Amino acid sequence: MTTLSLTLSYTTKCSSHKDSEHKGLKPNKSSVKLNGFSSSNKAVEGGVNFSANVATSPGIASVAVEDVRGDKSRQNIPNKKQLSDPFRMGLITEGGLSYRQTVVVRSYEVGPDKTATLETILNLLQETALNHVWQSGLLGDGFGATHGMIKNDLIWVVSRMHLQVDQYPIWGEVVDIDTWVGASGKNAMRRDWLIRSRHNGHVYARATSTWVMMHRHTRRLSKMPEEVKEELCPWFIERQATVDDAAEKIIKLDDNAVYVDSDLKPKRSDLDMNHHVNNVKYVKWMLETIPDEYLETHQLSSIILEYRRECGSSDIVQSLCQPDENWTNDKEGNYMNLMNGFNLASEILEGRGLSGFLDNTPTRYTHLLQIKGEKKNEEIVRGRTTWRKKSNACINGSG
């Protein structure tokens, strides 16, 4: 998950931050409730903390920091705010708060239909968020943490991500990615993105995420210390890129889910700078449970991710997936639409195939990634994906 915990950073209007009790706040004694999860010691030991993307042991983290320090001249991280960065094609915009980066979709970032993959879009969100912090002058050593956070041994962890894609950019297309941050309650931060076509100004994608702080050694969630609020607060912008649909809960799937992929094992190349499974890998595991026939004829229009726990390199992961409530397995294990008795397997076998399939397929899936434990399973992330049919050209092109 490190991928996303790199994100991070600023704000413009500090509403109620000043009322919070923070004098002498010690991160490793604080206890913050979030999405029903507590950061108390017990909770951490029980595995319900979500230590998104950080090293598991202090030793690893400290070595990493030393490396970066030694290479500082090669990295050239600015100590103060830079209005533009010619190498990253980055600009501080919107009254000095928001960040805009111009990006060309590269040849290896597109899928078989020559449009940017979901993986590419998630990677670019991370990259622009980090470059926002980079250019702000707030970046300390490590990934996205401010100077005040480093002083307090705090790291960012993502708790929620909501991405909507109206149109996928194509190979060679130039897009502008805007990102900014805002307050989210007393102890969290919101980060938003807009991806826009440079060619016609259309908004191709929008995303909103929520971030909280965790102590890097105790792995417990922490309140936001006052000195960190003071760093971030001046960067907050209230505007949100997506419409909040938090009201609709993502249910927790169980072993009765229609699709189950078990025994997923992280490979070395799935690990990021903090030796944890990268967030983008999670999404790949989620989507790989959906049948290829569906993926070839549909494209993802929205994904919501609710993070619960990190995943380490030795964990064995299970990916569960369930089409929306009208779809289920019948007694023989066939995939059935409860509303009209449509049976996918027989429909295709009987030659009504693709067209019948297209008219009857689900448009939403619920997902769960969990770590298989000896006694109990531990949730990594819940997800919901929404899909739309591809255009004919894309469908033919992907056969």
Q: Which stretch binds a copy of itself (CB under 8 A): 122-130, 319-327, 357-365, 380-388?
A: 122-130
* Residue 87 is a binding residue for a copy of itself (CB under 8 A): yes
Q: What is the dihedral angle through the alpha carbons of 270, 273, 277, 279, rounded to the nearest 10 degrees?
A: -100
* Residue 394 is a binding residue for a copy of itself (CB under 8 A): yes
* Residue 170 is a binding residue for a copy of itself (CB under 8 A): yes
Provide the minimum distance between the beta carbon of 2 and a copy of itself in the complex, in angstroms, as a whole number. 9
Provide the minimum distance between the beta carbon of 353 and a copy of itself in the complex, in angstroms, as a whole number. 17
* Residue 365 is a binding residue for a copy of itself (CB under 8 A): no
Q: How many Cβ atoms sit within 10 Å of the Cβ of residue 197?
A: 15
- The residue (of 202 and 239) whose beta carbon lies closer to a copy of itself is 202
- The residue (of 140 and 234) whose beta carbon lies closer to a copy of itself is 140
Which position among 30, 49, 126, 164 is part of the footprint of a copy of itself (CB under 8 A)?
126
Residues labelled catalytic: 274, 276, 311
Enumerate residues 6+ apart whose C-beta is below 8 A from 325. 338
Q: How far apart are CA 328 and CA 338, in angstroms?
A: 7
Which pair of tokens denotes residue 280?
A: 């983008």
What's the Cα-to-Cα distance from 86 to each of 106, 123, 125, rounded to whole Å? 19, 20, 19
* Residue 288 is a binding residue for a copy of itself (CB under 8 A): yes
Provide the minimum distance between the beta carbon of 282 and a copy of itself in the complex, in angstroms, as a whole number. 13
Enumerate residues 6+ apart whose C-beta is below 8 A from 135. 78, 81, 82, 84, 85, 88, 90, 92, 99
Q: How far apart are CA 262 and CA 197, in angstroms?
A: 39
Residue type (1 letter), 393 = A
* Residue 280 is a binding residue for a copy of itself (CB under 8 A): yes
Site for a copy of itself in 47-66 (CB under 8 A): 59-60, 63-64, 66
* Residue 390 is a binding residue for a copy of itself (CB under 8 A): no
Q: Which stretch binds a copy of itself (CB under 8 A): 26-34, 99-107, 178-186, 222-230?
A: 99-107
Q: How many residues bind a copy of itself (CB under 8 A)?
A: 66
Provide the minimum distance between the beta carbon of 137 and a copy of itself in the complex, in angstroms, as a whole number. 14
- The residue (of 83 and 246) whose beta carbon lies closer to a copy of itself is 83
3-state secondary structure of 285: helix
* Residue 310 is a binding residue for a copy of itself (CB under 8 A): no
What's the Cα-to-Cα distance from 245 to each of 92, 161, 302, rounded to whole Å? 29, 12, 12
Q: Give buried/exposed letters for 10-32 (b at 16+ CB in 10 A, else e).
A: bbbeeeebeeeebeebebeebeb
What's the Cα-to-Cα distance from 124 to each of 47, 83, 358, rounded to whole Å? 30, 20, 31
* Residue 96 is a binding residue for a copy of itself (CB under 8 A): no
CB distance 377 to 266 below 8 Å:
no
Which position among 16, 73, 79, 355 is part of the footprint of a copy of itself (CB under 8 A)?
73
* Residue 397 is a binding residue for a copy of itself (CB under 8 A): yes
Which residues make up the interface to a copy of itself (CB under 8 A)? 3, 6, 59-60, 63-64, 66-68, 70-71, 73-77, 87-89, 102, 104, 106-108, 110-114, 117, 119, 123, 126-127, 130, 134, 143, 169-174, 197-199, 267-269, 271-275, 278, 280, 284, 288, 292, 295, 393-394, 396-399
